[in-house]
Amino acid sequence: MPFSEVLGQDLAVSVLRRSIAMNRVSHAYLFSGIEGCGKKKTALAFVQAVFCGRDEACGVCSSCRKIASGQHPDLHILEPDGAFIKIDQVRELQKELSYRPFEAPKKACIIDGADKFNLASGNALLKTLEEPPGNALMILIATERSTVLQTILSRCQALTFQPLPAALIEERLVREQFPAEAARVAATLCGGSLRRGIEIATDGVLEGRVRFLERVLALELKDIAKLFAAAEEFAADKEGLPGLLELLLSFLRDVLIYRSAPEALANADLAQLVEREASRCREGRVMELIEQLAAMRRMLARNVNARLALEVFFMKLATR
C-alpha cells in the first residue's frame, strides 16, 4: 500500500516522503487524528517505503508484498490487550526489536493505541523510544494527542492527521459501489472518518435512522418507563451507541441551522423532520441539548455508566 493509496493526508505524507528522500527518518513518530482517517494505512505505507528504500514503495518487491500481506518478519504491530497495552506486551516488543533484522534495513513497529498505555507500560517503553535498538523505526498511533502520556509524546515527532473532506469520502464510497444517495448521506454524517462512512453506508444505520430519531424525539417525561426502557436498550448496544449518538448530534445541528442555512443540512433527506423540530424548539434549547450531548459522549469515552448517562440526557431531551 504505497503513499499514493492514502486519501486526504497530503501534508503528513509529504513530510514522511521528504524525510525518506533526505535520509532523515526519525526514530519515533506519533500519528494522531480521528479514527478512520488513514493513520494506520499511512504508517504501513511509510514502513513499506523505508524497507523498499525509496520515498514511494514499489509495491511489487518481496518486502512490499510481505508488508501488504501482514507477513514481514521485521514489522511488529502492537495493539491493546483489552483496555490497555500491558507491560508484558512492551517487554515482548523490546525483545523482538533487540534482534537483528531478518531482511529489512531496520526493524519497525506500529503501536496502534498509544493512548492505551498505563503508567507502568508507558514508562517501560521510554528507554526504547529514546534509543531504539538497531535504529528501529517506531510509529505510535492515537486518536488524540492530549490523551498520550506526556513522557511518550515528548520523545516522538508528532504528525496530525485531519478529518477527510466529505466530498472525498463520498467519491470513495461511490467508487466502492455504494448507492449515490447513501454515499452522500454517509459522507456528511461520518465526521471525516472513511471507516465510519463505510459503516454508516453498510450496517443499516441509514435505514434505521428515521425510526431511531422519531423514537427519541417522542420521549416524554410523563411516560418515564418508556424513556428508561429506551436508555437501557441503547446502552446495551455498546458498539452501535456511538454511531447513534453521532446521528442525533448531526440531527440537532441541522435543527439549529435550519432557519439560517437550510441548504447546508447534513440530513438533507430528513428536511421535513428537521423543519418540524426547528418549529418546536427555540435555538437556545437546541444549543443546550447539543452541549449536553457532547458532554455525555465525552463521559461515555471515560467509561461512565452508559444507561444512567442516557437516562439523564433523555430526561433533558424530553423536557418541553
Supply the pTM of this predicted model.
0.78
Q: What is the pLDDT along the chain (320 residues), one digit of tens a residue?
A: 788 889 999 999 999 999 999 999 999 999 999 989 999 999 999 999 999 988 888 888 999 899 999 999 999 999 998 888 999 999 999 999 999 999 999 999 999 999 999 889 999 999 899 888 888 999 999 998 988 999 999 999 999 999 999 899 999 999 988 888 788 888 888 888 998 888 888 766 677 788 899 999 999 999 999 999 999 999 998 877 887 888 898 899 999 999 888 888 888 778 889 999 999 888 899 999 999 998 888 888 777 899 999 999 999 999 86
Whole-number pLDDT of residue 131: 85
Burial class (CB in 10 A: 0-12, 13-18, 19+), 7: middle
Whole-number pLDDT of residue 298: 82
Q: Are 129 and 138 in contact (CB under 8 A)?
A: yes
Whole-number pLDDT of residue 300: 81
Name the phi and psi angles at 17, rounded to 5. -65, -40
Q: How far apart are CA 224 and CA 84, in angstroms?
A: 37
Domain 204-318 is in which class? mainly alpha
Burial class (CB in 10 A: 0-12, 13-18, 19+), 200: buried
Which residue from 47, 110, 104, 43 is spatially nearest to 74, judged by alpha carbons? 104
Which residue from 297, 298, 310, 286 is spatially nearest to 216, judged by alpha carbons? 310
Which residue from 106, 118, 114 is spatially nearest to 155, judged by alpha carbons? 114
Whole-number pLDDT of residue 15: 95
Q: How far apart are CA 93 and CA 87, in angstroms?
A: 10
Q: What is the DSSP string of the chain?
A: --GGG--S-HHHHHHHHHHHHTT---SEEEEE-STTSSHHHHHHHHHHHHHHTSSS--S-SHHHHHHHTT--TTEEEE--BTTBB-HHHHHHHHHHHHSPPSSSSS-EEEEE-GGGB-HHHHHHHHHHHHS-GGG-EEEEEES-GGGS-HHHHTTSEEEEPPPPPHHHHHHHHHHTT--HHHHHHHHHHSTT-HHHHHHHHHSSHHHHHHHHHHHHHT--GGGHHHHHHHHHHHHH-TTTHHHHHHHHHHHHHHHHHTTT-GGG-TTGGGHHHHHHHHHHS-HHHHHHHHHHHHHHHHHHHTT--HHHHHHHHHHHHH--
138 residue type, one letter: M
Q: Are 120 and 150 in contact (CB under 8 A)?
A: no
Buried b vs exposed e over 207-228: b needs ≥16 C-beta within 10 Å?
A: eebeebbeebbebeeeeeeebb
Name the phi and psi angles at 58, rounded to 5. -70, -30
CATH architecture of structural domain 3-160: 3-Layer(aba) Sandwich (3.40)
Which residue from 23, 37, 110, 102 is spatially nearest to 70, judged by alpha carbons? 110
Whole-number pLDDT of residue 38: 94
Rg of the Cα atoms in the chain = 23
